[in-house]
Amino acid sequence: MKIPVSLMAAVFLAGCGSNPPVPDWQMNAQSAVERFTDAYLTGNTRVEQADYARARAALASTGQVDQVLRAELIRCATRVASLVFEDCAGFDQLAQDASPADRAYSAYLAGRATAADAALLPAQHRAAASATTDAAASAAVQAIADPLSKLVASSVLLRAGRASPQTLSDAVDAASSQGWRRPLLAWLGVQAMRAQQAGDVAEAQRLQRRIDLVTDKKPSP
């Protein structure tokens, strides 16, 4: 699992090239962040919790709040990508020491980013966050290449009531391509609900069969 560099650059880019050897905490933290991210998205809560604790301990050992905050934001991003909209408690506890950019990303994840926040977001989110029409926002999200970033941006649109059917389809494809069971089930569930609301029984049934496949639920005889 590759974490977008824009979120963790300040944490992990030191020690490259001709710089001194990378300290153990840095390697341990990067590995643990990648593992807890992948574990949550694939639905392994126990592993996610253990690796999150390892990552936070490694980052906290430096006494540098910005590094812990970015790990907390990544953890919160996995929830948003999976349509779990809850407070980002780990970030909120340290928010008074957050940089403007980290505060902007936190606001974006919470669905309350302002126009000023949009300019401070990671590059892949700026166009969608600053779009003034639903069509422009959908197009901006569709252009995002990183799967996790695409899912996060799609979730922000959905939360704002701006997600198009194409947005949902692209989110399903992004989660499916990575084998991320948790967000895949969430987005398939949204598609199935919309099909039911539209009275498209055949499509709702097709989506339910796909959900059953992901959950390994045996079809009724």
Residue 220 lies in a domain: no
- Could you report the per-residue pLDDT of 188-214, keeping only the tens digit for each? 999 999 999 999 999 999 999 999 999
d(CA 199, CA 190): 14
Q: Calculate the average pLDDT of the chain.
A: 90
Residue 67 lies in a domain: yes
- Hey, what are 74's tokens? 């990544």
Number of residues that this document lists for the chain: 221
Residue 138 lies in a domain: yes
Residue 176 lies in a domain: yes
Residue 37 lies in a domain: yes
Residue 117 lies in a domain: yes
- Hey, what are 18's tokens? 């001709």
What is residue 207's DSSP assignment?
H
- Could you report the per-residue pLDDT of 12-63, keeping only the tens digit for each? 444 444 567 778 888 989 999 999 999 999 999 999 999 999 999 999 999 9
CB 85 within 8 A of CB 160: no
Residue 221 lies in a domain: no
Residue 167 lies in a domain: yes
Question: How many domains, the chain?
Answer: 1
Band of residue 216 on the pLDDT scale cut at 50, 70, 90? confident
Q: Containing domain of residue 207, as a range? A: 5-215
Nearest Cα residue to 52 out of 22, 69, 29: 29
How many CB atoms are located within 10 Å of the residue 58 CB? Answer: 24
Least confident stretch, 3-7, 33-37, 164-168, 214-218? 3-7
CB 94 within 8 A of CB 68: yes
